[in-house]
Amino acid sequence: MANYKKNSYTYATIVAMGGFVFGIDAALISGTTNYLTEEFSLNELQLGAAVGAAAWGVLLALLFVGYAVNKIGRKRALQISAAVYLISAIGSAFAPNYWTFISARFLGGLAFSSISMASMYIGEIAPPKWRGKLVSMIQINIVVGLSAAYFINYMIQNWANSGAEWVSTLGIDTNTWRWMLGSEIIFALLWFVLLIIIPRSPVWLVLKEKIGEAKDTLRKVIPENEVTNQITEMQESLQTTGGEQSDWEQFKEIFSKPMRITFIIAATLAIAQQATGINAILFYAPTVFEQLGMGTDAAFSQAIWIGVISVIFTVLGLLVVDKIGRRPMILGGMLWIIISLGICFYGFNSATYSLSKENVSELTELPNSERLDVLVDKSYESDIEFKEALSETLGGDDAKKYSSALIQKAANINGLLILIGILSFIAAFQSTIGPVMWVLFSEIFPISNRGIAIPVFVFLTSITSSFVQTFFPWQLENLGIGATLLFYASTVAIGLIILFIYLKETKNLTIEEVQLALAPKKK
């Protein structure tokens, strides 16, 4: 392999490692929800706020990302993000109270903006024919991070229940959730160190009129005979807008008539990607599996399957994104997601819940379990009805604490069908709209405003994600899992219709050619 190819893959791999740290940070919280609820005596909205705090943090960061990447450069901004991840991981693991925990998670959310910076940076150093693969590495790293987090949670959970002396000595059994969250520290530190190796973005160097340095960077990642043409294309693209623009001018350009189609595509993708409910499933994986009637330990082990499927299908998406094309992958993936969520809705909607006398007698861990005798042999048509009956009978605290065990006993549900639906949904997302959105974001914006445009639409993605994460526990408690998943499917269907009309193919096009393809047709 030529040196420039090795360099391109090396730099992209290092930058995309931010996706791995993001995945670790995002999914570790999934194993801590029950512990956090008990530790800080949280209700559903407080738990949602704890899990969603990071997503709200990224909203603040994205207001400044455009300025940061243009002012100090993509590389320096990424290094700052890595440092913030490290500080947040330490703060989350050692948080003495709820508000300190919220603050540390919020701080970590500031670093989530590194995903948009990573896609921007990789898109700027990657040759057009490799751009899809290299930018998709971000998504691969995210899902590998997710998988690692689920495995770490499962491993620590098993240690905590093992009764081993060394576990007690280290406090893993009493501070289980702190060990889960603290495991992120080493990965954040490693990424911070590796970012020293990468060069500064050639696009940013051209923006700053450092042409010599830009050429030096390009020589590391593309053939020598293409360097001059690449520099010329960048300069010509900038000349069409009068050179480097202020942040406000770049922001206004996003809403201009020439960018109308680009705006519609980007906004729809930004909302639809997170409106799938992907982060509700990923960040609350054990909670979701408990709704299938699994116990806590089984739910932790099943969550690992989400990580495995994520890795397999993200790699598959990476292998075909530059062959199949962006449009068929996005549209086909969204249809696949709708069908998968529909399967889950059907499975949950047809479930019933009933406790037998034998079920009640087996609940030895529940104090005064005879309180449940009034519910024996009664059938409930939904999880909401059953949970309401438990709350009236046991009181809110005991109903919440023992709901997993009670659902496991009472559920008459087609768990296999729903499990297939959930894993199919994960496969659809991770192989299509998950990674391909980042590929499109790295392609559809002109050089003149991409420093602002990408963070603006990632902001829209993040605010959608924030609402999904924050309100999922409330939806679960008040609407039920089936209705919640149906809501996600309906939202995705609206996005599918819009993108079917407006989305263009950008495969193998230079950034300049993409702009011509997306320009509104003159009447």
Both structure tokens of 104: 């540390």
Cα 494 from chain centre: 21
Kindly report whether the global pTM for this prediction surpasses the value 0.85.
no
CA angle 431, 436, 439 (to 5 degrees): 145
Cite the DSSP H helix spans in 128-258. 128-160, 165-170, 176-182, 184-194, 202-207, 211-221, 224-239, 247-254
Contact 304, 418 (CB under 8 A): no
Task: Look at residues 210, 192, 214 and name the one whose alpha carbon lies nearest to residue 201.
Answer: 214
Name the β-bridge partners of 376: 355
Q: Under a CB-based contact definition with an 8 Å cutoff, are residues 138 and 122 in contact?
A: yes
Chain region(s) in the chain for CATH 1.20.1250.20 = 3-198+256-348+416-445+448-518
- Domain 3-198+256-348+416-445+448-518 bears CATH identifier 1.20.1250.20: yes
pLDDT in 10s for each residue of the chain, 523 residues = 678 888 888 999 999 999 999 889 888 988 888 889 889 988 888 888 888 888 788 778 877 877 888 889 899 999 999 999 999 999 999 999 999 999 999 999 888 878 778 888 888 887 777 777 787 788 788 888 988 998 899 899 989 988 899 999 999 999 999 999 999 999 999 999 999 999 998 888 888 888 888 888 888 888 888 888 878 877 776 665 545 566 677 788 888 888 899 899 999 999 999 999 998 887 777 777 777 666 556 666 777 788 889 889 988 887 888 788 889 999 999 999 999 999 999 998 888 888 888 887 877 777 787 788 888 888 888 888 888 888 888 887 777 777 777 887 888 888 889 889 999 999 999 899 988 887 888 788 877 777 778 878 888 887 898 888 888 888 888 888 889 999 999 999 999 999 999 998 887 776 667 777 777 765 5
φ, ψ of residue 355 in degrees (nearest 5): -100, 135
Rounded Cα–Cα distance for residues 473 and 284 (Å): 9
Task: Kindly write down the DSSP assignment for every residue of 216-231, as one continuous string.
Answer: HHHHHHS-HHHHHHHH
Strands, sheet with 411-412, edge to edge from the N-terminal-most edge strand: 379-380, 352-354, 411-412
Place of tokens 């046991």: 394
Alpha helices in 222-325 (DSSP H): 224-239, 247-254, 260-275, 278-283, 285-290, 296-324
Residues 52-82: b if buried by 16+ CB within 10 A, e if exposed = bbbbbbbbebbeebbbbbbeebbbebbbbbb
